[in-house]
Amino acid sequence: MPDKFDVIAVEDRFSPPFFKKIPVVVERGEGVWVWDEHGRRYLDFTAGWGVTCLGHASPVISRALLEQGSKIIQNPSSGLTYSPARARLLSLLSTILPATLTRVFFASSGAEANDAVIKLARKVTGRLNIIASQKGFHGRTISTASATGQAKHRERFNPLMPNYVFVPYNDITALEQAMSSEIAAVLLEPIQGEGGVNLPDPGYLQQVSKLCVAHGACLIIDEVQTGFCRTGSMFAIDGLNLAVDFMTMAKGIAGGFPFAAFATSERVAARLEPGDHGGTYSGNPLGCAVAHAVISHLKDKAIHLNVINVGEALLTRLSAMQARHSDIITVVRGKGLLIAVEFATPALAAAVFTGALDRGLFLNLIQERLIRIFPALNITLTEAEEGLDILAEVLDSLGTLNS
């Protein structure tokens, strides 16, 4: 193939049509910035869908890749042999996980981790039914798509996996009515991400936890998007004292390197045995080394403080924009650096997305009329304000058109 070729034409010709792609060829990145093949710079408010928590081309990750890659990437017999990189990561995770979650297994994606814990919850309880939330999202395998409370992600793949029950998120009465002796687990996100950045009422998660204990069901918390300081604390459930049986993690765990994990309690681990689960790439030394470097950096540099401070500034200014453009923006909500801006119509949301991109800002359009803002966790206040300046300019232009 010649040195110069049409990237868009090649991808469109040979890739399955799973995405409606944005017509920008991204050549490189640094921090919260990326550059296209023509040298134009863009500000990234998506963090690669929440994974590049330390920004693009982070030297923290580059060093870990180089150092571990020069030693060993994959062990002989994979997870059947011991690994210093894996042991270091397990030791580090033991210092940040909720106290009751003491056993950790590694995977390659959030969907894979969620798929595994659904299977294992059924095994340890001897029950089949899983309760999940409407508007929830847990992955794109057939099992996790079946567990996702959005028809657009499920119904095109019928027949789905059976034994899933859906209740409204943040409705404890509906959950209580759905609970029975046939429920293996309740699966939910502490803050719904792809479903619209939906936050629970105070006390809701604790009530869910008590119901699970009362009915002998496992509680599965999906922290794939919210984990590793995305909402401020290391995990969104920190300090809530929930009786969690499984917690899944991915995205920010390795700063963009494909990696994931799930943690279990000792009570659950006592009911597991060899052969219950596995995986070729589970706990590979390269992924473990990167995850260790990322998590260590999050801790050592107190990145959660930046998330809290910048997140509060973003919410304050976005709320002011909503007040100024109440005919365009209906709601602003979020926590930390996981924020949703809801628009009056899908057309307005699309116009904001396109207008921002034209001005050099990547946003994430979801649920037809929501824009999700979740940049790198180490974004500076100046960089965040620059992105909001672009957004304000777009809103002002739309306001002029609507007047």
Domains, in order of start, for the chain: 61-300 (3.40.640.10), 302-402 (3.90.1150.10)
Residue 402 in this model has a pLDDT that exceeds 80 = no
Residue 403 in this model has a pLDDT that exceeds 60 = no
- Give the mean pLDDT of 10-21: 93
Mean pLDDT taken over the chain: 95
Is the separation of the CB atoms in 285 and 260 below 8 Å? Answer: no
CA angle 115, 238, 185 (to 5 degrees): 35
**What pLDDT sits at residue 2?**
41
Q: How far apart are CA 177 and CA 324, in angstroms?
A: 42
List, edge to edge, every strand of the sheet that includes 33-36: 26-30, 33-36, 41-44, 361-362
**What pLDDT sits at residue 293?**
98
**What pLDDT sits at residue 338?**
98
Residue 6 in this model has a pLDDT that exceeds 80 = yes
- Give the mean pLDDT of 332-338: 98
Residue 4 in this model has a pLDDT that exceeds 80 = no
Residue 256 in this model has a pLDDT that exceeds 90 = yes
Q: Lowest-pLDDT range, 14-28, 113-127, 141-155, 283-297? A: 141-155
pLDDT tens-digit series, residues 82-138: 999 999 999 999 999 999 999 999 999 999 999 999 999 999 999 999 999 999 999
List, edge to edge, every strand of the sheet that includes 246-249: 101-107, 260-265, 246-249, 218-222, 183-188, 129-133, 164-167
pLDDT band of residue 160 (cuts 50, 70, 90) is confident
pLDDT band of residue 158 (cuts 50, 70, 90) is confident
Task: Identify the burial level of 75 via C-beta atoms within 10 angstroms of its C-beta, where 0-12 means exposed, 13-18 middle and 19 or more buried.
Answer: middle
Nearest Cα to Cα of residue 264 among 165, 116, 133: 116
Contacts of residue 280, defined as CB under 8 A and 6 or more positions apart, other chains included, come to 78
pLDDT tens-digit series, residues 44-63: 999 999 999 999 999 999 99
Residue 328 in this model has a pLDDT that exceeds 80 = yes
Q: How far apart are CA 353 and CA 370, in angstroms?
A: 10
3-state SS of the chain?
Answer: CCCCCCHHHHHHHHCCCCCCCCCCCEEEEEECEEEECCCCEEEECCHHHHCCCCCECCHHHHHHHHHHHCCCCCCCCHHHCCCHHHHHHHHHHCCCCCCCEEEEEEECCHHHHHHHHHHHHHHHHCCCEEEEEECCCCCCCHHHHHCCECHHHHHHHCCCCCCEEEECCCCHHHHHHHCCCCEEEEEECCCECCCCCECCCCCHHHHHHHHHHHHCCEEEEECCCCCCCCCCCCCCCCCCCCCCCEEEECHHHHECECCEEEEEEHHHHCCCCCCCCCCCCCCCHHHHHHHHHHHHHHHHCCHHHHHHHHHHHHHHHHHHHHHHCCCCEEEEEEECCEEEEEECCHHHHHHHHHHHHHCCEECEEECCCEEEECCCCCCCHHHHHHHHHHHHHHHHHHHHHHC
**What pLDDT sits at residue 257?**
97
Cβ atoms < 10 Å from Cβ of 9: 9
More confident call, 209 vs 2: 209
pLDDT tens-digit series, residues 391-401: 999 999 997 66
pLDDT band of residue 1 (cuts 50, 70, 90) is very low
**What pLDDT sits at residue 157?**
84
pLDDT tens-digit series, residues 181-201: 999 999 999 999 999 999 999
**What pLDDT sits at residue 45?**
98
- Give the mean pLDDT of 361-388: 97
The backbone torsions φ and ψ at residue 78, rounded to the nearest 5 degrees and listed phi first, read: 50, -125
Contacts of residue 95, defined as CB under 8 A and 6 or more positions apart, other chains included, come to none
**What pLDDT sits at residue 331?**
97
Q: How far apart are CA 151 and CA 335, in angstroms?
A: 26
Is the separation of the CB atoms in 287 and 281 below 8 Å? Answer: yes
